[in-house]
Amino acid sequence: MSRDNILHRIRTALGRGAGQAVAEPPPARIRVPEVALEARVASLLERVRALAGEAWESTDPRGLVANAIAGKTAIASNAPCLAEWGITSLPGVRSGITDREELRELCAVADVGITSADYALGDTGTLVMLASPREARMISLLPPAHIAVVPRGRILTGLDELFSLLPNPAELTSSMVLITGPSRTADIEQILVRGVHGPGSLTVVVV
Amino acid sequence: MSTEFDQKVHVTLADANLQLAIYTATGRLKEKRIEAVAPDALPDYQELRTQANAIKKHAIDNLDHYLEQFERNVAAHGGKVVYCKDGTEVADFVLALAKERAAHLIVKSKSMTTEEVDLNERLEHHGLESVETDLGEYILQLARERPYHIVAPALHMTRYQVADLFERCLHVPRETVIEKQTALARSVLRQKFLAADIGISGANFLVADSGAVVIVENEGNARLTTSAPRIHIAIAGIEKVIPRAQDLATFLKLLARSATGQLLSVYTSFLSGPRRAGEIDGPDEFYVVLLDNGRTRLLPDKAKRQSLYCIRCGACLNTCPVYRKIGGHSFPWVYSGPIGAILTPQFMGVQHEPALPFASSLCGACGEVCPVKIDIPKILLELRSDTRKADAREHQNRLERLGFRAFAWLMTHPRLFEMAGRIGRSMGWPAGTKGPLGAWLSERDLPPLPAHSFREMWRRR
């Protein structure tokens, strides 16, 4: 069996015995800077805009989203905050889907996918999305536009803070995705084109 | 130099359009990297490199331990790890699974590891349709070419070549606007994603303490590949394992910056196991194929083992004055540039392409930009030595050995050296490029001979 062969070859090459203990790895390098919430929000908005996304801070997410999806079809995730803010009851919005096939069919034809985010990273302009009964993977992926509505308390400084809060994301979910800007490619002549497989339009609303 | 390598190099050098394409693309990537790692943009860049190197060293030095830990944790989350020694075993595994699940269509996201073993060809040979979904890789699959560059696979192709290709292969009207070409590929591939039975991805990192596969990308095709079909198979080299999820805070800061100058790639997916109870979508089955394919051959050599630290950012290609002239397809295997020049001889044996470690000016730029601090120039030197030793074993060139022995003798006898210098200067360089040094001189100009030697000038100062 290749497994045992390969592991045996590795051990022989490294001069290690089976099950031999290892020294502690170098300590993980986690440095969480002190950044005030205001500055984290400002940085997030600035970074998302720099990546050609739209970014707003709003006390009226319902109105903002209503404007953005006027005349379009949208599918919203099951995140409770979207219902609380009245976004799921906007005209043209479907929500509350729990069946994979149904969700996929809806996402394949919807103009806009609306989600929340578990966290956002201020210094890189990143959304952090954990798959769960509240958030499906396809809503932020299949429709050509993605709107993410994020409570401001969820905005972290950056990767270091994320991994200090979630030292092992696999305990929580089968899929954690970091989204930094709209889908893009530069594979033909290095010309930047947005929206190649994922959404070409990304809007982040901080509440 | 072998004739094939030599020929490919000359073809590339003679193609003015290609020269411009390589130079512009690598130049742009290079500039963006420099901005992204500049002290004002990333003050702790050097510390991150040191940390990344230390973690990779620790992981490779204890590789069996971390692979077993990874395997246990993948299993704990409902996935399965499969070890394969070569491409045949990978193909056999995928084919058997496809047959069992009655699968016909496979979507693939970009993976250099699967390029190593020609996975698409092997699967197609057995009647499966395996479609590349990264735009650049899709173009290359239609053109039946291999990647030109680790991160920019179709760097050498123009929009006009893409237009011809799409017209011929997809039977669509000729389209030369890049946005429209991209949209066309999106719509063709979207249908494939929605119909696919299996998604095959690569992996940038395997996280031992989480049993997770980490994939970075910009297009969204890797997310679709790993979450739309019912089966996800990630194929990765055994060297990709890192101890902890927390180490990603180090590696993710370096990878995208070094590759394209982005702070982070658009999508970073951290995937562990199939979808869990209550999760709405995602695959039902999750496999990780751990591929050896020659990697264990690199482990015994403590000095060169660090070649396996590579995170495939492509920074060494963009900065290399040789890659920027001779391009990716001159290289004899899937990995090109400085990293290709050290990986290929170690995976395939130094005799596979003996010229490779010598096709370098040893300027050291590759080592300087490497985010995990692989000492590429030093490994090139060691491989040169290995190549020469292997060469000497095969056919000792007596004339060359005699020449070097005479040279060593002359260098250790200062009076005679000086006399030889005087005679040499009065005679001048031999004209023409014939004789035993002909091949060497055909690519180089000799400097004009000085009127006085350094030693003479020193005495008169």
Q: Is A64 among the domain residues?
A: yes
- In single-letter form, the type of residue at position B1 comes to M
Helix (H, G, I), strand (E, B), or coil: what is residue A116?
coil
Residue B51 has pLDDT above 90, yes or no: yes
Cα distance between residue B208 and residue A22, in whole Å: 14
Instruction: Give the model's pLDDT for residue B234.
Output: 98
CA A98/CA B401 separation, integer angstroms:
76
CB burial of residue B250 (10 Å; 0-12, 13-18, 19+): buried
Task: Answer whether residue B443 shows pLDDT above 90.
Answer: no
Q: Between residues A199 and B444, which one has the greater pLDDT?
A: A199
* % of residues, chain B, pLDDT over 70: 97
The reply to whether A22 falls in a domain is no
Helices and strands per DSSP (H, E), number in chain B = 21, 10
Q: Is B331 exposed, middle or buried (0-12, 13-18, 19+ CB in 10 A)?
A: buried
| Inter-chain CB proximity A6 and B85 less than 8 Å | yes
Q: Is residue B351 predicted with pLDDT exceeding 90?
A: no
Dihedral angle over CA of A189, A193, A196, A201, nearest 10: 170
Shortest CA distance from B228: residue in chain A: A138
Count the Cβ atoms, other than its own, within 10 Å of residue A184.
23
Amino acid sitting at position B117: V
In this prediction, residue B447 carries a pLDDT of 81
Q: What angle do CA A51, A56, A61 make, to 5 degrees?
A: 135
Residue B373 has pLDDT above 60, yes or no: yes
CA dihedral over B298, B302, B304, B305, signed as positive or negative = positive
Residue B456's pLDDT band, with cuts at 50, 70 and 90, is confident
- Please give the tally of structural domains in chain A: 1
Question: Are residues B331 and B344 in contact, defined by beta-carbon separation less than 8 angstroms?
Answer: yes
What is the reported pLDDT for A19?
86
Size of interface A-B (CB pairs under 8 A): 263
Give the residue among B271, B291, B229 at the shortest CA–CA distance from B101. Answer: B229
CA atoms within 13 A on the CB side of B94: 36
Indicate the Cα dihedral angle A42, B215, B190, A97, nearest 10°: -70
Does residue B283 surpass a pLDDT of 90? Answer: yes
Q: Map B402-439 to HEC letters.
A: HHHHHHHHHHCCHHHHHHHHHHHHHHCCCCCCCCCCHH
* Chain B residue closest in CA terms to A174: B272
Q: What are phi and psi of B284, to 5 degrees?
A: -85, -25
B274 secondary structure, DSSP code: S
pLDDT above 60 (res B1): no
C-alpha–C-alpha distance, residues B76 and B71, integer Å: 9
The 10s digit of each residue's pLDDT in B294-320 is: 999 999 999 999 999 999 999 999 999
- In chain B, which residue's Cα lies nearest the Cα of A99? B280
| Residue A34 token pair | 């002190």
Count how many residues are written for chain B.
461
Nearest to B267 among A23, A160, A179 (CB): A179
Rounded to the nearest 10 degrees, the angle between the axes of helix B16-37 and helix B248-260 is 140
Structural contact between residues B19 and B245, judged by C-beta atoms closer than 8 angstroms = no
Asked if A6 lies within 8 A of B244 by C-beta distance, the reply is: no
- Is the residue at A89 inside a domain? yes
**Distance between CA atoms of B270 and A166, rounded to whole angstroms?**
12
Q: Is residue A163 part of a domain?
A: yes
Other CB atoms within a 10 A radius of the CB of residue A191 amount to 14
Contacting residues of A for B89, CB less than 8 Å apart: 2
Query: Which pLDDT belongs to residue B151?
Result: 93
The residue written with tokens 């057995």 in the block is B126
By residue range, what is the domain housing residue A52?
Answer: 33-206
Q: How confident is the model at residue A54 (pLDDT cuts 50, 70, 90)?
A: very high
What are the structural domains, with CATH classification, of chain B? 1-43+313-396 (no CATH), 62-293 (3.40.50.10420)
Dihedral (C-alpha) B425, B431, B434, B435: value to the nearest 10 degrees? -30
Of A2, A99, A124, the CB nearest to B263: A124
CATH code, A200: 3.40.50.10420
3-state secondary structure of A22: coil
Query: Mean pLDDT, to the nearest integer, of B69-80?
Result: 98
Using the beta-carbon criterion (under 8 Å), do B268 and A174 form an inter-chain contact?
no
* pLDDT score of B390: 84
Mean pLDDT over residues B327-337, rounded? 95
Question: How much of chain A is in helix, strand and coil states, percent to nearest 5?
Answer: 30, 20, 45
Q: How far is A59 from chain B (nearest CA, A)?
A: 28
Give the helix/strand (H/E) hosting B379.
Answer: helix B376-394
Per-residue burial over A147-161, b = 16 or more CB atoms within 10 Å of its CB, e = otherwise: bbbbeeebbbbbbbb
Closest residue in A to B230 (Cα) is A100
- Helices assigned H by DSSP within chain A: 2-14, 37-50, 61-68, 80-84, 100-109, 159-165
Higher pLDDT, B275 or B439: B275
Locate the chain B residue with the closest alpha carbon to A20.
Answer: B65
Q: What is the pLDDT of residue B427?
A: 83
Calpha distance B105→B121 (Å, rounded):
14
pLDDT tens column, B195-239: 999 999 999 999 999 999 999 999 999 999 999 999 999 999 999
Q: Which residues contact A144 (CB under 8 A, 6 or more apart)?
A: A111, A112, A195, A199, A200, A201
Given an 8 Å threshold on Cβ–Cβ distance, is B219 in contact with A169?
no
B52-58 average pLDDT score? 98
Q: Are A180 and B264 an interchain contact pair (Cβ–Cβ within 8 Å)?
A: yes
Query: Could you count the other beta carbons within 10 Å of the beta carbon of residue A195?
Result: 21
B interface mutation test: which of A121, A197, A201, A202 has the most B CBs within 10 A?
Answer: A197
B84 near B206, Cβ under 8 Å?
no
pLDDT band at residue B396 using 50, 70 and 90 as cut-offs: low
CA atoms within 13 A on the CB side of B416: 8
Q: Do A180 and B300 touch (CB under 8 A)?
A: no
Least confident of B31-45, B135-149, B336-350, B398-412: B398-412
Of the candidates B139, B282, B300, the beta carbon closest to that of A13 is on B300
Residue A175 located in a structural domain: yes
Neighbours of B286 (CB within 10 A): 25
> Tell me, what's the pLDDT at B395?
67
Say whether B186 and A197 touch across the interface (CB within 8 A). yes
Q: Position B457: which residue type? A: M
Amino acid identity, position A162: L
The average confidence (pLDDT) of chain B is 94
Measured distance CA(A82)–CA(A66) in Å, rounded: 12
CB atoms closer than 10 angstroms to residue B188: 16
Chain segment B243-281, per-residue pLDDT in tens: 999 999 999 999 999 999 999 999 999 999 999 999 999
Backbone angles phi, psi at B41, to 5 degrees: -85, -35
Count of Cβ atoms closer than 10 Å to residue B419 Cβ? 12
Is-contact A40 A126, C-beta < 8 A?
no
CB B354 within 8 A of CB B367: no
Instruction: Give the pLDDT confidence score for residue B401 in this predicted structure.
Output: 78
> Measuring CA to CA, how many Å separate A87 from each of A93, A116, A119, B37, B280?
8, 11, 19, 41, 20
* CA A51 centroid distance within chain: 15
Amino acid at B319: T
- In the predicted model, what is the mean pLDDT of residues A6-13? 97
- According to the per-residue pLDDT averaged within each range, which of B361-375, B422-436, B445-459 is highest? B361-375
With CA atoms as reference, report the closest residue to B188 among B205, B203, B175: B175
Q: B186–A195: do the CB atoms touch at under 8 Å?
A: yes
Q: Is residue A25 part of a domain?
A: no
Asked if the structure places residue A106 within a domain, the reply is: yes
- The interface predicted TM-score of the complex, written ipTM, equals 0.98
How many angstroms separate the CA atoms of B12 and B46, rounded?
A: 35
Single-letter amino acid code for the residue at B366: C
Taking residues A64-81, report their average pLDDT.
Answer: 97
Residues A74-96, mean pLDDT to the nearest whole number: 97
- Residue A26 domain-assigned (yes or no): no
pTM, entire model:
0.91
Buried b (16+ CB within 10 A) or exposed e, A44-63: bbebbeebebbbbeeeebbe
Closest residue in chain A to residue B273, using alpha carbons only: A174
Q: Compute the average pLDDT of residues A154-165.
A: 98
